[in-house]
Structure 1
Amino acid sequence: MKQKIKSSISESRLGLIKKWGGLLVLSLALAIIIIDTTLLNVSLGPIIKDLDTNLQGIQWVITLYALVLASFTIFGGRLGDLFGRRKMFILGAIIFAFGSFLASISHGLPLMIAGEAIIEGFGAALMMPATASLLLATFKGRERAIAFGVWGGVAGAASAVGPILGGWLTTTYSWRWGFRINIFVALLVLIGALLFLKESRDTKEKKQLDGIGILLSSTGLFAIVFGIIESATYGWWMAKGVFTLFSTSYPMPFGLSITPVAVILGLTLLAIFVWYERRHEARGKTPLVSIRIFRNWQFSSGLLTLMVMSLSLTGLIFALPVYFQAVRGQDALHTGYSLLPLSISLFIASPFAIMLTKFMTPKRIIQLGLGLTIAGIFLISRGITVDGTTPALLWGLILFGVAMGFVQSQINNLTLSAVSVQQAGEASGISGTARQLGSSFGSAVIGAVVLATLTASLATGITNSSVIPVVAKDKISQAVAAQSSATEFGTSPQLGAGVPVQIVKEIKTITSTAVVDGVKRGLDFALVFAFISFFVALGLPNVKNLESEKGESPVAAH
């Protein structure tokens, strides 16, 4: 009898080790995916030099990665449902590691695009929904809330740690080590997956791939995200210039920018996708996405809140580095250090929010977090000045980090727990895509606002300057305006030889003021997005028991 009890205790301990070890593996996988997205941003100069390319070429790598991730995340989640989430997670890690290897040995743009943007992007699209769906299948009740709290905290912290790690590797060794380290971490993830993760899949659905659904959804999402990203280059409505792709020009009708054309095309394809999926499922076949999942109000409202919240989060993470580098003169590594208060407070607040679930429903914690987000952005905006210091931003960064910790620890659990475990991969894929769409739109809108305000402020500053001679203002204004985009990366406008020192100093002052104006206006938009997400969150169900076995909305708390 004693032997049986001991054996039972040993099995229980082993089960706990495998369960929480699995959480560590899944969190580590999510961390390398998120950190990888920041590596190129902090290593632009050395990569451009080594690959003998230009900023536009590297921006294409970043753009394609976002496009591949947005286009195939739903597909990756569905593959996990049908063929096994652990299998797809392992396959994704192998593909991701191979893409990292190709990027690390690249000596030209084509191999970098193939490795980083296409292969790594597809690997990430398999891994990311699998991490969330495996958590959903492994944990229940309070343990699930803790698991999603840790998972959300790691995701938020990784986005802030990424610039530090990328900057340190680039400065100390080489930007190539930013990709090489992925290979070692992916190897650890693979070993951990084999040791700790249990297989899980949807046993009710037939193993059928919806080829037409995959084509419609991926091309529709690709077109929308492409249009949003290209708005910075070609404008939101009327074209700033003729759309060019691979050295070939494609004039749009009525002088329109490629943005509305691509977005309308994408929305049309997604409308056809919805019609086709309804028809496909009605015939008794396995759809890529069951449209009925959106009837679940807890899932749909959580999805909308997540997407709108991503707008303000991405906008702030985009705007602050511009200020630190262009005004404060910090490099990538020290920019990462300046963001540490945000990442540390986020990581601490995520598990703390789990304790609050004893006294508050997840909806109230999310609302509290979004309210703190508004206060945090407001404080950060007030601390953005030409001669500002890190302490002036400290409390705003801490408050924003706490806010994101509260929200991210709850929103994923609330959204994904609304569906049954059988639908976990499908729901995780949709959730990841919504987050990617929100991030792309947020960075595009706030990036365009920052650049437009910066350009206008530069022109106004030069016109109103009492130091710059009137006869030289037009020429200097044109030279500075042509370099306004580079100013976002911390590069002072180059005026050529022979320009008096006092004019150079004046331009530097005007530039710093313009960047501050641009960043503050960008934060104004981030604040608007935060207000919108707060009001969207009012529609979340006020539930205590988040879990559903049939994908039905749980009972509301009284």
Structure 2
Amino acid sequence: MVERTTTGRFPVGLRRALIAFALAQFICSFAGSNMNVMITDISADLNTTVQGVQLTITLFLLVMAALMIPGGKLTDILGRKWCLQLGLLLFGTGALISALAPNLGVLIVGYSILEGVGTALLIPPVYILTTLLFGDIGSRARAFGAISAMGGIGAVAGPLLGGFIAYAVSWRAAFVLQALIVVSIVLLARRAVKDPLPADHALPFDVGGAVLSATGLILIVLGILAADDDLRLTAGLIVAGVLVLIWFFVSVRAKEKAGREPLLSTSLFRNRASNLGLVTQNMQWLMVMGTSFVVSTYLQVVKGYNAIETGAVFTATTVGVLLSSLFAERMARRRPQRTLIIAGFAVTVAGIALLLGVGGAGDSIWSLVPGLFIIGLGLGCMLTPSVNVVQSSFGEDLQGEISGLSRSISNLGSSLGAAVAGTILVAGVDSADPNRAYLSAMLAVAAAGLIGLAAAWFLPRTRPA
């Protein structure tokens, strides 16, 4: 249970642990979005194509989504702090390999695979330990507010920082920065992070379930990526992915009935608030990554802006997320979480409309600023309450599983954002009317926002925390 000092602040040890958790979420979100403004630089340096870089980004997000559920389960078996440290080691190693990559294949190994696997191992412990260490709903909302804010800032500031680094030094320096931040997290977490629950090394690990869940998710996203090449292949991959996921859930129920330990408990899917919260998380991160990828690619490939110019325009989104996140705890005390999530989706969709209206009509890159700022405000408003709705729906015994599932759903949203919106845009950038492809891609992102809004509307009506 969390303790407070007489000033209302968390004890020093908890504050340091929270800083480590927030930095871990920041660097993982930053890694997912900073590549967007370096597409042209990387493709030229590694002698590849825009599609090749898009594939690398999507694979990184997909590896995270596919392995997050197994990663959450492993925290119970190996220990939460141990998985956090192993994940940081893999992530940092992948960043250094990416910085030295001579070709696209090595970049995929370092960035997409090692950084993706590292993220899948380190992020579930962040959310599990936060839930365990910050026991009451108010303190937990404050802690999740800090972590979610850093995640949102990492995602939307990624283009700005990545663009500045790529312009001033090289795109490779962005990966060196990632490795340096990872080192600082390791040093900070070594003493500050404490695991309140012992690891259960005797707990069995459902290898078959892990393979099925990962395979199903991978097939679905690969099917979306193949949409601009062969619609029959797309349909086949998506259907195959759905069938594999059905097989996964059938196997989970069979293992539970037989008294064996499955990868996930079916009780996770019987909670209405959590189920709807997971939908909102998926749609939120689809919008984050979809907007970042589409706007960044459009400005570089179609409009010809460089990395620093493209990154600078995303300052508006960063400021918007930061402003709304700063008031997360105060809003959680005054408004139900359902209200905050609904407002967040409504404001974000309005921001997209403004982006397409004002930004589409203007010739200057700065005409995009008002829409991107409003998008940032909406995203910052709803990221924290969505996490709190899901994590607080279950007790300590299921925190490992729900954290893995929650982060998997969120990262699947990021994968779908890069895959769906990116595929629509990339397929049309070489056409006679690339502006129409940009419009279609952003409308797909707005449609995700409307789906999230509908899910949030049906969340249980609760009083403010």
TM-score by length of 1: 0.77
Quote the offset at 1:52 in angstroms.
Answer: 4.1
The separation in 1 between residues aligned to 2:92 and 2:363, in whole angstroms, is 41
| 1:416 has 2:419 as partner | no
- Contact kept? 1:87, 1:199, Cα under 8 Å: no
- Which residue, 538, 541, 544 being the options, matches 2:457? 538
Quote the offset at 1:13 in angstroms.
Answer: 10
The separation in 1 between residues aligned to 2:52 and 2:439, in whole angstroms, is 29
| 1:523 has 2:442 as partner | yes
Q: Larger radius of gyration, structure 1 or 2?
A: 1
- Which residue, 343, 346, 349 being the options, matches 1:371? 346
**1:115 paired residue number:** 110
**2:21 paired residue number:** 26
Q: Which has the higher helix share?
A: 2
| 1:297 has 2:293 as partner | no
The separation in 1 between residues aligned to 2:377 and 2:83, in whole angstroms, is 33
**2:251 paired residue number:** 276
- Contact kept? 2:37, 2:297, Cα under 8 Å: no
Matches within 5 A, 1:98-497: 98-140=93-135, 141-201=137-197, 206-231=202-227, 233-235=228-230, 237=231, 256-257=232-233, 259-326=234-301, 328-385=303-360, 387-389=362-364, 392-450=367-425, 454=428, 483-484=430-431
Quickly say closer, same or farther: Cα 1:13–1:361, change in 2 above 3 A: closer
Higher RCO, 1 vs 2 (CA within 8 Å, ≥6 residues apart): 2
**1:463 paired residue number:** none
- Contact kept? 2:391, 2:403, Cα under 8 Å: yes
The separation in 1 between residues aligned to 2:443 and 2:58, in whole angstroms, is 25
Quickly say closer, same or farther: Cα 1:335–1:287, change in 2 above 3 A: same
The separation in 2 between residues aligned to 1:434 and 1:419, in whole angstroms, is 17
- Contact kept? 2:34, 2:162, Cα under 8 Å: yes
Quote the offset at 1:310 in angstroms.
Answer: 3.0
The separation in 2 between residues aligned to 1:181 and 1:19, in whole angstroms, is 26
**Aligned-residue CA RMSD in angstroms?**
2.7
Paired residues in the alignment total 462
% identical aligned pairs: 29
| 1:72 has 2:67 as partner | yes
Per-residue displacement from partner, 1:6-40 (whole Å, max 9, x unpaired)? xx999999971111211111111111112122343
Quote the offset at 1:413 in angstroms.
Answer: 0.9
- Contact kept? 1:96, 1:120, Cα under 8 Å: yes
Quickly say closer, same or farther: Cα 1:162–1:362, change in 2 above 3 A: same
**1:467 paired residue number:** none
| 1:90 has 2:65 as partner | no
The separation in 2 between residues aligned to 1:100 and 1:225, in whole angstroms, is 24
- Contact kept? 2:313, 2:368, Cα under 8 Å: no
Task: Mark the runs of 5 or more structure 1 residues left unpaired by the alignment.
Answer: 1-7, 238-255, 456-482, 485-510, 547-558
Quote the offset at 1:99 in angstroms.
Answer: 1.4
The separation in 2 between residues aligned to 1:220 and 1:417, in whole angstroms, is 27
SS of the residue corresponding to residue 358 of structure 1 reads helix
Per-residue displacement from partner, 1:252-298 (whole Å, max 9, x unpaired)? xxxx22x2111111111111111111121222222111111111112
The separation in 2 between residues aligned to 1:317 and 1:379, in whole angstroms, is 16
TM-score by length of 2: 0.91
Letter paired with 1:218: A
Per-residue displacement from partner, 1:206-228 (whole Å, max 9, x unpaired)? 52111111111111222112212
Quote the offset at 1:451 in angstroms.
Answer: 5.0
Quote the offset at 1:146 in angstroms.
Answer: 1.0
Name the stretch that deviates more: 315-324 or 333-342. Answer: 315-324
Task: Mark the runs of 5 or more structure 2 residues left unpaired by the alignment.
Answer: none
Quote the offset at 1:442 in angstroms.
Answer: 3.1
- Contact kept? 1:62, 1:117, Cα under 8 Å: yes
Quote the offset at 1:355 in angstroms.
Answer: 0.9
